[in-house]
Amino acid sequence: MDDRLVALNEVLSHCRELAELYRGDRMGVDSDTQALFERSGEAHDRFADHLSGQIRAMGELPAEEDPERLGVERLATDLKSFFSGQRDTSLADTFDQTEAKLDQAITTALGHDLPDAIRQALQQHRSVVTQHRQALSGLA
């Protein structure tokens, strides 16, 4: 497996992880924050599907996430936020850390020789990540 595929799969992995985390149990979170989390998760899910298709168009196979690992990540995030005094702040901090990992993975992927369509999609999704992080910082 070449380095660019590894980098793209890292982006894909973080997108799938964020989509799953944002879908977690959000009882005790106000409706505006819940709507933000839902929109953010959907954006990452759509991009992951798009990127998977682009990887296939390169003649490669995208990595598949382990649903059990994603479930454990979501459970850990939910438990951490449940026992936190400020649930939305705890979730925002966790999501921001994972969004930062995704941003770094996108930067790494962009350092490789990629088809223009993938490069453009990554750059567009980087701006989505920036918007998510700005929205999350307003919750912290």
Count CA atoms within 13 Å of residue 102 on its CB side: 28
- The CATH number of the domain covering residues in 3-137: 1.20.1260.10
Q: Yes or no: say if 63 and 51 are a contact pair by the CB < 8 Å rule.
A: no
Q: 31-57 and 3-22 are packed helices; what angle lies between their axes, rounded to 10 degrees?
A: 150
**Which position has the token pair 């998510």?**
132
CA–CA dist 34, 108 (Å, integer): 31
Question: Using 50, 70 and 90 to split pLDDT, how confident is the model at 130?
Answer: very high
Delimit the domains of the chain by residue range: 3-137
pLDDT in tens, 84-129: 667 677 788 888 999 999 999 999 999 999 999 999 999 999 999 9
CA–CA dist 59, 107 (Å, integer): 23
Percent of the chain whose predicted confidence (pLDDT) is above 90: 56
The token duo for 65 is 């996430």
Total-model pTM: 0.85
Task: Give the contacts of 3 (CB within 8 A, at least 6 positions apart).
Answer: 112
* pLDDT at residue 82, rounded to an integer: 63
